[in-house]
Structure 1
Amino acid sequence: MVARTAREILRWLEGLYLTYPVVMPKWDLSNGYAYAEILHAYFPKEINMFAFVNGRSLNARLLNWTLVKQFIAKRNLAISMDFIDATLHGKDGGAEGLLEQTYQLLTNKVPFTDPVYERDNVFSDHPYQQNLSYYEQAHASKSIKNNLKVSELLTDPSYAYQSKRCRAILDQARTDRQAIRASNPGRFRVKPTLAERCLREPLQSDSNPQDWFMKSFDSRSRSVTSITNKSNSIKHQSRNGSGVLLKKNSLSLARLDKEHIEANEDNVLYKEIILRQHAVPLGDLLQTTES
């Protein structure tokens, strides 16, 4: 949900008799003039309102917030600079968090905040977008416009910063789009991939890897033999290849009864494991089972 201001904070602001009422903190506090009036109500001798400019330009905002930061540093007030920067650039949740922190500092009261209205640490609109339907959420370019303000680009014209912020926004948008497609496969006509359709059951924890491979090897040997005999009967080919294959299989099975599987390229059984690429990890097959 979108961030909102507590009712007791709004009543507190009305009691200060500001020149311009704070209706939408995200926009009304962005230039720093209204926030300077809040501090002037508690520190009238230290805040000179004639030094502030009531304008919407970037230079006016930077001037006002620079004076506010100097006063906060001078008085050593416990106000986060991250909230100030987020309010300056008009980011979601910045002005609301700044008002809550200022209210708690000046009145020594803790405002009530609704836990449903979430805020993230980077002051993005991602919590708000997650509460919308998937067809109402912003696309990638709109997300960049909402979360990367023009004033940020002007105050910090670093291409590395811009590319980093854009990459983070696009990665988040891609992750959200993949989650939407996974939760609504029928609408987006998502088809399972070949790997998803060929998944095999994992090896049971109480079974022996070598016994499991022996059973699968026997079934594969029988299937290979039947297919070879059928193709030879149809095409009238010689059965030398199948005979050699059965001979190699019998030798490998006899070797398996006597010793464990070794990672040797001359071992026929080891080649069979590599070629078939079973779901069981090769390390589990090569490990010595503990009795």
Structure 2
Amino acid sequence: MLPRVGDSPKDRFRSLYLTGETTIIACKADPRFSYTLYIPESAWDAPERELDLLVAVHGTMRLQSLYRDAFAGFGRFNNCVILAPLFPVGVRGDMESGGYKYMVEGDIRYDEVLLAMVKEAGDLISRSFGKFMLFGFSGGGHFTHRFLYLHPDRLKAVSIGAPGSVTLLDETMDWWPGIRNFEQVFGRGIDFAALKQIKVHMSVGALDTESWEITFPEDSPKYIPGANSAGKNRNDRLHSLRQTMEARGVEVWHDIAPGVPHDMRGVFPYVERFFTDVLTDRLPAPGVR
């Protein structure tokens, strides 16, 4: 949407900064965090038209705009708002980079921060997003499947990309490798009936076999019994995650991208196809592809 000569300053601002790829916006609920959006022109031109929302969560490098921009075409042609949050390194002054991956960091609940962003994005365009789609790769893949356990009632579909560590639906291990004390940590249990209603996609590169960054030695401050139990590398761990979900009755679409290492861009075509199939109700049978 281009500004026009007769536009008011408010309309010019909306055209330049709140249409298409937007500026970066501080989260009102907690300004330590921010988000950027892709807003299709139809959000302003056709306010009566229904919009979907897709949230795309960055990995450890925090390439926030890359995730938004990757989905911009999808958003335009599917009448879908894209929200890409930014969870910076060291928000508590300690250079911690992995807090958002595990949902809890000190007094921060990252799932609640994201839900606040979703509400604020809806308020911005006078919409309400009761349910939305969620994607994350690497560190974002950590976030995505753990958010799924906490809020299946808010999700339409999720795509989990190559997480370095996974939380199995295993009640013999504590959080985060398992869920034995899940209710104690979060004050709520997992709604397995709701979980089974969600369309779940997983993706990983066939060559994503490096393990140096995701192996937890016993002297690591992040080590907990079971930390390495899901497998050696991201392929192994995603396979274990799929198995534990399928054992609970969750249907999973699992794409292994040939020739692709640990690279979001390499798995993105599979992710985009999954969400397109979700919106057009054309999903093939679940399973490994």
What TM-score comes out, normalization by structure 2 length?
0.23
Q: Answer with 1 or 2: which has the greater Rg.
A: 1
- Give the alignment's TM-score, normalised by structure 1: 0.23
Give the structure with the larger helix fraction.
1
Higher strand share: 2
